[in-house]
Chain A
Amino acid sequence: MTIVAGLSEKLSNDAAPGTTAIRRRRVPTSVISALTVLALLLVWHFAAAAALVSPVFLPPPLVVAKSLWTLVTEGFVDSTLAQHAAASLGRVLAALVASVAIGVPAGLLIATSRVGRGILDPIVEFLRPLPPLAYLPLIIIWIGIGEASKVTVIALSMLPSIIIATAAGVRAVPKDHINAARSFGATRAQVLLHVILPSSVPSILTGTRIALGTGWSTLVAAELVAATRGLGFMIQSAAQFLVTDVVIAGIFVIAIIAILLEVVARALERWIAPWASVR
């Protein structure tokens, strides 16, 4: 919510950076958003209280909150909420490391070498529009049902955006930046290491942030299919026993973690590449 609010402010704020034009006081966007959330909760509460829908389909918000607390303290299917969340996050982070390790060099190759582009472009273009769940069964046949197959699927789903963002970043390196280094006697390897790579960092980070979002949704889907621990597995098993309150609580946890990942990734971008937001 804060992210969306920040964006619309950026779009509407024409004043010089660091200043805001003085205007008539209006209700802040964040208040409107907060009121919306509150209204939705109230509608949910009264709909459940009036028994318009069976509590099996729609447990009241307070029941969901209570079951969320039980998830934290006691857990569900042999694991606490923290253990489920840790399992999920661990998979995504492992996949992130793998896809950055493969994606960044691949992106560099696509942007700097004609042969590299010829080889890698069709692979990326094949993978990019493919829903990860389409190749999950094949990955399970190949690698089995353990952790490796889930990490592989998540990493594959993250790869295209990292490769594409890296290649875009490399292509956008100002020509003068490269020429300057050459005029000071830089070798090709030095230009790559000291100019092209650092110059592409903002783009690589943006690609990584987008990939993290993709990876998170792939993860939950992959856990629905095959896992013994994790947030996706948790809501899937709760659904099988019609424990709807756990399902809804799980959905909230998944959404909150997704938002937190986005916030952390944005903070990292500002911290590692502050010049990108200034220029």
Chain B
Amino acid sequence: MTRSTLTFGNIGLSYRSRDRGGEPQRVLDSINFAVSSGEFTVIIGRSGSGKTSLLNLAAGFQLPTDGSVLLDGIPIRGPGAERAVVFQDDALYPWVNARDNVAFPLKLRGVSKENRRKRADALLSLVGLSHAADRRIWELSGGMRQRVGIARALASEPRFLLLDEPLGALDALTRTKMQGFLLDIWKKSGAGALLITHSIDEALLLATRVIVLSPNPGRIAASIDTGFAAELLAGATPEALRSSGLFKRTHEELTGLIHRLSPEEELAA
């Protein structure tokens, strides 16, 4: 796969106020960064910091008020298969089974039924769900659903995986398992990943780079390169990583960054 870059070029996003004559609400301001395929970028920030808006802009569900999001230099004008999204609330289709959910992006592209089935089965095997191909969505656990959602996103052969807190609704044990799994899949797919999360711990374990957003309006407060994901991929356990001094220091630093931003917000409110 050729190297691809998703560039946020001086992005600003404002929402028009609901009451007439009201000040427009600034959601994102002066966002500048780029994500390349092969990178795992995690966006972290408190509620209201515009994390989800940032992902929506990358997906093309929304267009920025200022600046533009570029894919390999070309401005994004809408959603596209090269930027597949995995949703927090899985967004799988209950009227078809797991296999047909995974095959859905292929169906949109007019791939023949036989090839769809082959490809979907291969992807389900990649996410460890070969045995569940014929099951309906409501028969699957939360973790299994997210794995189907990831397999479905991979089916569209994206250059970037956009992950909107996909592990947010899972219980702690499943979440830890899914983190390792997600990292593994990302490495195998060769795609770039952009993950939104509330969890500093998750950010440190998965990211090659963590971007911290500050709220009101959402701005980049810090961008930190980390190497824990590489260690995790190399076989280190999450527990071992968490107990290292560097992990604890970085965790504290990020916690400080995110909390430092709160009094300002309280004053504004």
- List the interface of chain A (C-beta within 8 A of B): 174, 176-177, 179-186, 190, 194-195, 198-199, 201, 273-275, 278-279
From A177, A179, A184, A274, give the contact of B105 (CB < 8 A).
A184
Q: Are A275 and B136 in contact (CB under 8 A)?
A: yes
Q: Which residues of B contact A273 (CB under 8 A)?
A: 95
Task: Show 6 A/B contacts (Cβ-Cβ < 8 Å), sorted by A.
Answer: A182-B61, A183-B59, A183-B81, A184-B156, A185-B105, A274-B136
B137 touches A183 (CB 8 A): no
- B89 within 8 Å of A by Cβ? yes
B156 touches which one: A185, A190, A194 (CB < 8 A)?
A185
Q: Could you tell me the distance between the alpha carbons of A186 and B80 in the complex, rounded to whole angstroms?
A: 8
With A179-B91, A201-B95 already in contact, 17 other A-B pairs whose C-beta atoms are closer than 8 Å: A174-B91, A176-B87, A176-B89, A179-B59, A179-B61, A179-B79, A181-B104, A181-B108, A183-B81, A183-B84, A183-B85, A184-B105, A184-B152, A185-B80, A198-B93, A199-B93, A279-B94
Q: Write the B85-116 contact mask toward A (1 if CB under 8 angstroms, else 0).
A: 10101010111000000001101110000000
Contact of B83 among A183, A195, A199 (CB under 8 A): A183
Collect the chain A residues with CB atoms within 8 Å of residue B162's CB: 183
Measured CB to CB, the closest approach of chain A to B174, in angstroms, equals 20
B138 in the interface (beta carbon within 8 A)? yes
Closest to B85 in A: A183
Give the distance to chain B from A41, nearest Cβ to Cβ, in Å: 44
A177 to B149 CA separation, bound complex (whole angstroms): 12
Distance of A279 Cα from B140 Cα, bound (Å): 12
Report how far A185 CA is from B157 CA in the complex, Å: 11
Beta-carbon nearest neighbor of A272 in chain B = B95
Report the Cα distance A194→B78, complex, angstroms: 19
Given the known interface contacts A179-B59, A179-B79, A180-B85, the answer about A190 and B95 at a Cβ–Cβ threshold of 8 Å is no
A181, B95: Cα distance in complex, Å: 14
Which residue of the partner chain, among B91, B95, B105, contacts A176 with CB atoms under 8 Å?
B91
Closest to A195 in B: B93
CA A194 to CA B107, docked complex, whole Å: 10
Neighbouring B residues of A185 by C-beta, 8 Å: 79-81, 105, 108-109, 156
Question: Could you mark each residue 163-207 of chain B with 1 if its beta carbon is under 8 Å from any beta carbon of chain A, else 0?
Answer: 000000000000000000000000000000000000000000000
Which B residues are within 8 Å of any A CB, using their own CB?
Answer: 59-61, 78-81, 83-85, 87, 89, 91, 93-95, 104-105, 107-109, 136-138, 152-153, 155-156, 162
- Given A195-B93, A275-B94, check contact A179 B81 (CB 8 Å): no
Residues of chain B within 8 A (CB-CB) of A183 are 59-61, 79-81, 83-85, 153, 156, 162
A180/B87 in contact, CB under 8 A? yes
Q: How far is the CA of A201 from the CA of B59 in the complex (A)?
A: 28
In the A-B complex, list the 6 residue pairs whose CB atoms are closest, starting with the nearest: A185-B81, A275-B94, A184-B105, A176-B91, A182-B79, A183-B85
Contacts of B137 in A (CB 8 A): 275
Give the CA-CA distance A158 to B152 in the complex, in Å.
40
Which chain A positions have C-beta within 8 A of B81?
183-185
User: Nearest chain B CB to A204's CB is how many angstroms away?
Assistant: 13
Bound form: Cα–Cα A199–B92 in Å: 11
Among B95, B105, B109, B138, chain A packs the most CB atoms within 10 A around the CB of B95
Task: State whether B85 touches A179 (Cβ < 8 A).
Answer: yes
In the assembled complex, how far is the CB of residue B250 from the closest CB belonging to chain A, in whole angstroms?
Answer: 32
- The CA of A242 and the CA of B202, in the complex, are separated in Å by 82
CA distance A180 to B153 in the complex (A): 9
Contact B85 A198 (CB under 8 A): no
B79 touches A194 (CB 8 A): no
- Shortest distance from the beta carbon of A175 to any chain B beta carbon, whole Å: 9
* Distance of B13 from chain A, by nearest CB (Å): 17
With A185-B80, A185-B156, A275-B136: A177-B91 Cβ-Cβ less than 8 Å: yes
Q: Which residues from chain B contact A198 at a C-beta distance below 8 Å? A: 93, 95
In the assembled complex, which residues on chain B have CB atoms less than 8 Å from the CB atom of A274?
Answer: 136
Q: Return chain A residues, CB-CB under 8 Å to B105.
A: 184-185
* A268–chain B nearest beta-carbon distance, Å: 15
* A-chain residues with CB within 8 Å of residue B84 when the two chains form the complex: 183-184
CA–CA, A273 and B91, complex, Å = 17
CA distance A194 to B153 in the complex (A): 17
In the bound complex, do residue A275 and residue B138 qualify as a contact, i.e. CB atoms below 8 Å apart? yes
A184 touches B87 (CB 8 A): no
Distance in angstroms from A242 CB to nearest chain B CB is 55
- Give the distance in Å from the alpha carbon of A181 to the alpha carbon of B138 in the complex: 19
Residue from A179, A181, A199, A273 with most neighbouring chain B CB atoms (10 Å): A179
B residues within 8 A CB of A177?
91, 93
Determine the distance from Cα of A199 to Cα of B103 in the docked complex, in whole angstroms.
18
CA distance A278 to B138 in the complex (A): 7
Please name all residues of chain A whose beta carbon is closer than 8 Å to the beta carbon of B87 when the two chains form the complex.
176, 179-180
Distance from B140 Cβ to chain A, minimum over Cβ atoms (Å): 12
Return B133 CB to nearest CB of chain A, in Å: 17
